[in-house]
Structure 1
Amino acid sequence: MDIIWADSAGVPAGDRGLAYGDGLFETIRMQGTQGVLLQGHMTRMMAGAAMLGIPLTASQLSEVIRQAVARYAATGDWVLKLVLTRGVGGRGYRPADDVLPNLIVSSAPMPPLPGADGVVVATSAVQLTVNPQLAGIKTLNRLEQVLASRELTDDLYEVLMADPSGDLVEGTRTNLLANVNGCWQTAPTRQLAVAGVMRDYVVRTLKQQGERVELTAIAPSVLDPDVCSGLYLMNSLIGVVPVRRLDGRDLPVDRTLATIFNPLDLVEPQV
């Protein structure tokens, strides 16, 4: 595997990730030398690489993260991005048998976090379709999310995407969670473009606490204030953030989950 440090080298023009989206990526919130749900990110990248048939070992990934921390780490929050591609080689879509993967490593400042009063979102006109073989894997194929993100305006934090039946599945960069009549609802992995590590942690924790969790896409009809006590966005950068307005309609806001699932309480040392 070749390591490409984004601050010192460019990606080869023939890289299959650039040509075909042949790869996957992870975006990890770092706190100094530690990462939020770091093991979850590593596990997802390993699983995605195995699904795509890109060779990657746990020891290789751990070593790259150690090097990245030594190179980029500072006090406070920063973001580590890992982009794994199949590398360069092969004619057309068919990869060569001896292709050497590329792992592109970069860092960025932590983006501004949403306010404590919740965020404003809208429903995207772009429909989300998910290939069952790629469901939940954070591949480089994100054109639907790119198209939907073009609908973002200065007053919107996120746009939500629906499946062909019209049920809400996820945001362009977040997973969704709703509390409907005391039952937590979030779409199952088979319907997700990306199964977030924060979503997995939240679902697992809620179940361990004896909460009712239903894996189902969120029908717009259940967001009526008479039955819904909260709609939330989730990812490992922001944690769990309540939605206070959707498509111009006010929703109830409860900050309890944001306190329970504070990302900085979930930092893990590099391994």
Structure 2
Amino acid sequence: MQWFRNYLPDSSLSITDRGLSYGDGLFETIATHSGYIPKLAIHQARIKRGCRRLGFNISPEQWQICWAFIAQQALKNPNCGIKLMLTRGSGGRGYRPPTDAAYEFLVGVFDAPNYSQQRSEGVSLVTSRIQTSINPSLSGMKHLNRLENVLAKQELADRAYEAVMLDANGHVIECVQSNIFWITRGELFTPALSKSGVQGSCRTSILSNFVGSVNVGHFSLASLQQADEIFVSNALSGILPVVKFDDRILQLGKLTRTLMDQVNT
């Protein structure tokens, strides 16, 4: 993986950076395809929403430089993955941020994983014992505070490909590194993320491409357990069908296949 700090080759960062001290920042994981970024507008909109919520005052000129550099990397490294991290930099007193932040733009370029086997054969899913936090102030954002996902991934180990995470109210929220969807009697279901979870870029594409009834809300684990089809998604993998959930075997369904053809690059 090659790293750039403020668009120059560099893998170092100050130990006083607020991203390290407090998780004071955001990130995007971006998939490229043949030199371009299919979901660029979705990534741009999400990180800008996050910046507004965190009070990051990024100028249009700074964004222009950032996205031009990322586009350049996509052209140089066809079919790669790109990770953008944005921190508030150093400064401030304790939790109080500096009034004139020196933002750090960190860009990593890596070989994109090959998900062809998972797409064709499907993946397994289990229920995690780690809960997602309920916090409307942070929900939806890809902020740098990801410890609950770290714990869930550690607990998952090699038991399955992914794990379903619930909140303290027992509502299905997401998977460790994916959004989750299911289909019951031809209707699409996915958790509302107004209080917890991450609004994935692929999730946005799925919701806009599905033709039929879409249900976004608060659902119990029982609702997921009764599904006819289940699939997970993230920016790099696209849609992956779930063929086993805990002890239940599922078929790769027709509606999931249709969405895979529409959304997966």
Residue 140 (structure 1) aligned with residue 144 (structure 2): yes
After superposition, where does 1:38-57 map in structure 2 within 5 Å?
38-57=40-59
1:69 Cα deviation after fit: 3.7
The code of the aligned residue for 1:179 comes to: I
Residue 122 of structure 1 is aligned with which of 123, 126, 133?
A: 126
The code of the aligned residue for 1:182 comes to: G
The code of the aligned residue for 1:171 comes to: C
Distance 2:77 2:12 in 1: 27
1:218 Cα deviation after fit: 3.7
Q: What secondary structure is seen at the aligned counterpart in 1 of 2:89?
A: coil
Distance 1:122 1:6 in 2: 41
Aligned residues: 257
Distance 1:6 1:242 in 2: 39
Equivalent residue for 1:269? none
The code of the aligned residue for 1:111 comes to: P
Deviates more, 1:59-68 or 1:136-145: 59-68
Distance 2:122 2:154 in 1: 22
The code of the aligned residue for 2:144 comes to: L
Equivalent residue for 2:172? 168
Identity of aligned residues (%): 32
Q: What secondary structure is seen at the aligned counterpart in 2 of 1:134?
A: coil
Distance 1:161 1:29 in 2: 24
Equivalent residue for 1:90? 92
1:74 Cα deviation after fit: 3.7
After superposition, where does 1:89-238 map in structure 2 within 5 Å?
89-113=91-115, 114-154=118-158, 156-206=160-210, 209=211, 211-224=212-225, 228-238=227-237
Q: Which runs of 4+ in 1 moved over 6 A?
A: none
Equivalent residue for 1:253? 252
Q: Deviations over 1:165-197 (max 9, x none)?
A: 323210111111111222211111214321112
1:217 Cα deviation after fit: 3.5
The code of the aligned residue for 2:214 comes to: V
The code of the aligned residue for 2:105 comes to: L
Deviates more, 1:122-131 or 1:15-24: 122-131
Distance 2:177 2:191 in 1: 14
Q: What secondary structure is seen at the aligned counterpart in 2 of 1:131?
A: coil
The code of the aligned residue for 1:219 comes to: S
Q: TM-score, normalised by structure 1?
A: 0.88
Q: Deviations over 1:53-111 (max 9, x none)?
A: 01123442232232234356445410111101111101111112122111111111102
Contact 1:180/1:229 (CA < 8 Å) preserved in 2? yes
1:220 Cα deviation after fit: 2.4
Distance 2:107 2:69 in 1: 10
The code of the aligned residue for 1:253 comes to: L
Distance 2:77 2:84 in 1: 20
More relative contact order in 1 or in 2 (CA 8 Å, sep 6+)?
1
Distance 2:137 2:77 in 1: 39
Q: Deviations over 1:140-183 (max 9, x none)?
A: 01110010000233352111101223232101111111112222
Q: Deviations over 1:184-223 (max 9, x none)?
A: 11111214321112112211222xx3x1111124422234
Contact 2:5/2:11 (CA < 8 Å) preserved in 1? no
The code of the aligned residue for 2:198 comes to: V
Contact 1:176/1:234 (CA < 8 Å) preserved in 2? yes
Structure 2 gap segments, 5+ residues each: none
Q: What secondary structure is seen at the aligned counterpart in 2 of 1:80?
A: strand
The code of the aligned residue for 1:18 comes to: L
Deviates more, 1:69-78 or 1:244-253: 69-78
Distance 1:37 1:68 in 2: 13
